[in-house]
Amino acid sequence: MQTTQALSEKLGHLLAKHKHVLVTAESCTGGGVASAVTDIAGSSAWFDRAFVTYSNEAKQEMIGVQLETLVEFGAVSEPVVIEMAHGALQHSNGTISVSISGIAGPGGGTEDKPVGTVCFAWKAANGWNKVRTHVFTGDRSQVRQQATHHALQVIYDYLSMEDK
């Protein structure tokens, strides 16, 4: 598997080529996706901003996640990350978004949502969207690193398919 830095560089080329601008809405990764892409020189051409919405209040205030969705499904849920991805696009100049909410640990897990559970949503202004929940293994740092890499990998795979 390639490094997150190498993936970020390749993703940056594809975003620029397809004239996409990335925006992120991150909870458990705490801005890790934004950090990975802004480590790349020239990222200002294809990265707009990051919303680090760690609290439920931030999710509501910054990107419009509905209180009802949070109450019914919980912050770590596909309905919430769908609203996060949508809100990130609405409140930015981005054309493609990724949102992430999860339980990095070491505590906070339940039987239904164990430590390592991370929900993702991706959305593009052209209509493409994807939602996925994955359970990663490892300690808190490893879960966050794997989630960051996965968030970028799915966008890279989507844009690579557009090339074909």
β-pair type (129-135, 96-102): unpaired
59: nearest Cα among 32, 91, 96, 36: 91
| CATH code, domain with 82 | 3.90.950.20
List the domain range (segments joined by +) for residue 117: 4-162
pLDDT at residue number 62: 98
Can you tell me the distance from the alpha carbon of 4 to that of 100, in angstroms, rounded to the nearest whole number? 16
Can you tell me the distance from the alpha carbon of 48 to that of 34, in angstroms, rounded to the nearest whole number? 10
Kind and range of the H or E element at 146? helix 140-162
pLDDT tens-digit map of 32-89: 999 999 999 999 999 999 999 999 999 999 999 999 999 999 999 999 999 999 999 9
First to last CA, the chain: 22
pLDDT at residue number 98: 99
Residues 6+ apart with CB under 8 A from 76: 28, 101, 102, 103, 113, 117, 118, 119
Maximal C-alpha separation, the chain: 43
Number of domains in the chain: 1
Residues 6+ apart with CB under 8 A from 1: 149
pLDDT at residue number 1: 75
Q: Which residue has the tokens 């609203």?
A: 83
Structure tokens at 126: 């052209």
pLDDT at residue number 13: 97
Structure tokens at 133: 């929940």
pLDDT tens-digit map of 109-163: 999 999 999 999 999 999 999 999 999 999 999 999 999 999 999 999 999 998 7
At residue 164, does pLDDT exceed 80?
no
Using DSSP's 3-state secondary structure scheme, residue 47 falls into: strand
